[in-house]
Structure 1
Amino acid sequence: MPTQIHSTWGEFRASFEQVLAHTRHSLCIFDADLEQLGLDQAIRFEQLRQLLASDPATSIRIALKTTEHLHRQHPRLIQLLQTHGHAVHVQQIPDSLLQLRDTLIIGDQEHALVRFDQDHPRAKLIIADKKESSPYLQRFEDIWQEGGTPFTPTPLGL
């Protein structure tokens, strides 16, 4: 499938669905706050749950600029974190990376959806092209390796 460029929010969400539908083993997401991805919708929650149930080695890593939206608007995703904490990891990136404006979604190292600016829907969709997805995966890995604050689904006690 050739690379596609999309420019509306509807096309962006449909492309996200395509990446999820093709992903079988690993999902990496870098986003400002997950607001545009709708991960807490029942259908997306079920897709993520099935992905995690399909293979014990499956992993989901999410790097966010802020976890405030996750705390308030994603109870299903928090449920996944509680039940699949060994496979789902979320971290808030350090302040030194807050100027980054793009969004990255990479499935199985060969499917990618890249939104060029977090405030706009214009995005590039790559399906089944490991070579073309590779720079975006490397960018995600660089962001992930910078560390940050791990998100915990339950409040820490005293």
Structure 2
Amino acid sequence: MTDTRPSSTPASANALASATTLLPHPLPACENARIALFAMRRMGANGLADARAAHTMFTAFGQSFRRPLVLLRALMADLAATSAGTIAIAPCCCARMTPAESAMLSILARVETAPESARYLMADLLGVRRVDGVLASAAALAAAFADEGRPVTM
């Protein structure tokens, strides 16, 4: 009798290599960065008025949710309008991040403390030289998170 069980080694190894190539970064350890990432993914996939993104912000920020939510919507709109190409986002259930998502969270974490580094990351992410408007949106969002006691760190 022959063994009809599928060989899991080659296929599993290929799937793992593919996943780590497309999603090379682990989720951030910072809970606040994970909140921002989840809301970005929801808005990127389902539009700026996504109810789950709004609910996540309400759950995280309580009655002070409006400012971070509106600023996140503004940032997402600015990113879409300014980008020279597509910005890759992963589905909400993914336990890893795309390079673009990692760059976006790094920008939020650095925009106040290392603005030149944040500017270079934003220019690379968007593929354009003039990123002042989008960077201002990112700074406002980072400040909104920090003002509510939820600074984004990486």
TM-score scaled by length of structure 1? 0.30
TM-score scaled by length of structure 2? 0.31
Specify which structure has the higher proportion of strand: 1
Larger Rg computed on CA atoms: 2
Specify which structure has the higher proportion of helix: 2
